[in-house]
Amino acid sequence: MMRKMREVTKPIMLFTAAAFVALMVFQWGMDITGRSSGGVGEIGTVNGTPVTYEAYQNTYRNLYDRVQQSQEGPLTSQQNKEIEDAAWDDVVNQILIRQELKRRGIGVTDAELRQAAQFSPPPEFRNDPAFQTKDGRFNIQAYQSYLAGLPESQLMLLEAYYRDVIPRGKLLRQVSSGIFPSDGELWEQYRDQHETVTIRYVPLNPATRYDDEDFPISDSEIEAYYRAHQDEFKIPARATVKAVVLDKTPTAADTAASLAKAEAVRKELLDGADFTEVAKRESADKATAEKGGDLGTIVKGRMVAPFDSAVFHARIGRPTEPVETGFGFHIIEVTKRWADSARARHILIPIKRTDDSEIELLVRADSLEELAQSLPLEDAASKLGLSTSTVDITENFAFVAGAGQIGEGADWAFQEASPGDVSPVYENEQAFYALELVDAQPAGILPLADARTSIETTLRFDKKKERAHQEGEELVKRVRSGEALENVAADMGLEIRTAGPFSRNDFVPGIGRQNAAIGAAFGLTPGTISDVIVTPANAYVIDVLERTPADSSAWVDQKMAQRQQVLDALRQSRLQEWLQALRASADIVDRRAEVLQPQDQNAPLQQGPLGTRTR
């Protein structure tokens, strides 16, 4: 298995059903009705409609290619598993949508096809420079002229596109009907972002202001809280595993090899090679490589320290010695420099494993997997000079030092393994790793004995907040009777702080974000002292110094764009909710594990056509 599964670096973010384009305008290259053209055949059903292997495989390949194009190295086995699940979800979603279109009788007329073809070109046409004017606008006349000259075969493909897309657009409008953000809602959102206040406030700090011994907590109080708050003490399933980790981090020898390459690149430049061509060929900074390594104008102090220092000390026009940062080794050439800025270009040579180092790592991973098939993990690791660690993991936090989050390993531990079982060697961005299950415990409720300390802390803090509230009321009473806030605070040993200007949506140091204190600040008239405001973490008395209202004229000027943005977001949310409800009520049968997994458990391991491990 491991020799077929050479995938390295970077986690993925998959576009799923929430994205309108991916969901409603997905382009299919197979028959989604369930009619099989041979091969594996059905791998599941959706309300009785077969899910074909061909549909699943084509969707998988589309997602796989898209993710692979977004990153430099091959995908890891964990990424591959995520893509397989996303492909399944996409195929299921598409079948559900087709079924819903049929149920609602949504179709498309010839008139709608003609109208769309003439005036609503597919996105790839709108973005094609051949159909854009000099000022970047879409040239509808050029597009229509092109359309008139298309052969019949191309027109049929375009017709198929619209026959698929137009009904989906109608469905979206039905699903999101009735959504319209009012002016009041838009103004409230705009106001929350742009209205500001500046305040001074007194934090009462109950956690540190009072001594714990002044607030005793009885056993009966603890037991009553435990009985009334059982949900707080739910614990996820837990497992104890032994872990062996083969870290992918480049070695000192790899770093030396990267430095040697950087030095060779610099020598090539000093020997007269063109910087632009070398940057295009060698630089790992893809954002600048195509521009010959050009970084544009660099403001002093904005780059990481070693890079910044090199730029503002280098000889103009001469490539620097390799400069090491967290990104790798840079060869920098400064073309112009002023007092506080410079123009420069660079070539980035990343620090990564050499081919020999990579092969050595993969051979060790293969050997570990082979040995672990017949030996306890600790014995297998020992034969390779590796050590094991014992780690406690939970279903919602499976972390192993050196390997990070171990999603595949956690699935194995909680869903497949029995104590004493040894896992296959898994791979993620950081490492290869293998596990041995020592013990597993199902989800449950934390015993009172284990919860006692946290309950006692919670109850004591609540009592401290009550005391702080009483002191705060005394402070407010004295200020409202005419004493200066500064004098009262000093007399009570309290500190006055200032904050702002800030909006309702901002995080305010010392106060927090979107809590009762923030809301109270915007509800006060400048010069008016607040009541005592209690938040989950503190208690405050607030005095507003200045308030700057949001500009209603500026709001009107941008209202149309804001409404469209809010409308799009609401439609996405409605679509997501609708699709989740559709899936929840559907009869979905997933037979991938049964159909795609091997029947002969003794056959040799190899990589399946979708990256699934087969025998």
Residue pair 319/262 in contact (Cβ under 8 Å)? The answer is no
Tokens coding 32 = 């989604």
Instruction: Identify whether residues 273 and 345 lie together within a single domain.
Output: yes
pLDDT mean across residues, the chain: 86
Cα R_g (the chain), whole angstroms: 32
Residue 46 has a CB neighbour count (10 Å cut-off) of 22
**Would you state the pLDDT for residue 68?**
82
Q: What is the pLDDT of residue 597?
A: 61
End position of a domain, from candidates 399, 419, 442: 442
CATH of the domain at 461: 3.10.50
Q: Which of 507, 525, 548 is the last residue of a domain?
A: 548
Indicate whether 7 and 100 sit together in one domain: yes
Q: Give burial (CB, 10 Å; 0-12/13-18/19+) of 287.
A: exposed
- Could you report the per-residue pLDDT of 286-333, keeping only the tens digit for each? 889 999 999 988 988 888 889 999 999 999 999 999 999 988 999 999
Assess whether 129 and 96 both reside in one domain: no
Alpha helices for 431-551 (secondary structure H)? 448-480, 485-491, 516-523
Query: Would residue 54 count as lying in a domain?
Result: yes
Q: Domain for residue 576, yes or no? A: no
Which of 321, 349, 377 delimits the end of a domain? 349
In a domain, 561, yes or no: no
Q: Does 462 lie in the same domain as 328?
A: no
Q: Are residues 384 and 242 in the same domain?
A: yes
Same domain, 272 and 323: yes
In a domain, 67, yes or no: yes
Is residue 375 domain-resident? Answer: yes
**What's the structural domain count of the chain?**
5
CATH number at residue 340: 3.10.50.40
Q: How many CB atoms lie within 10 A of CB 552?
A: 12
Domain limits at 225? Answer: 196-232+449-548
Does residue 526 share a domain with residue 389?
no
Cα distance between residue 94 and residue 86, in whole Å:
12
Alpha carbon distance 308, 298 (integer Å) = 9
**180 falls within a domain:** no
* CA dihedral sign, ordered 478, 484, 487, 490: positive
Does 462 lie in the same domain as 333?
A: no
Q: Is residue 148 part of a domain?
A: yes
210, part of any domain: yes
The burial of 157, by beta-carbon neighbours within 10 Å (0-12 exposed, 13-18 middle, 19 or more buried), is given as exposed
Task: Specify whether 13 is located in the same domain as 146.
Answer: no
- Provide the whole-model pTM: 0.59
pLDDT at position 158: 83
> Do 171 and 223 fall within a single domain?
no
464-489 exposure pattern, b = at least 16 Cβ within 10 A, e = fewer: bbebbbebbeebbebbeeeeebeebb
Q: Residue 18's pLDDT is what?
A: 30
Residue 24 predicted with pLDDT over 50: no
Render pLDDT for 565-610 as a digit per residue (tens, 0 to 9): 999 899 888 988 999 999 999 999 998 888 776 444 443 333 333 4
In angstroms, rounded to a whole number, what is the distance separating the alpha carbons of residues 516 and 581? Answer: 34
Q: Please, which pLDDT band fits residue 70 given cuts at 50, 70 and 90?
A: confident
- Entry field: residues in the chain: 615
Average pLDDT of the segment spanning 223-245: 94
Using the 8-state DSSP alphabet, how is residue 422 labeled?
B
Q: Does 486 lie in the same domain as 422? A: no
Within this chain, do residues 431 and 462 fall inside the same structural domain, yes or no? no
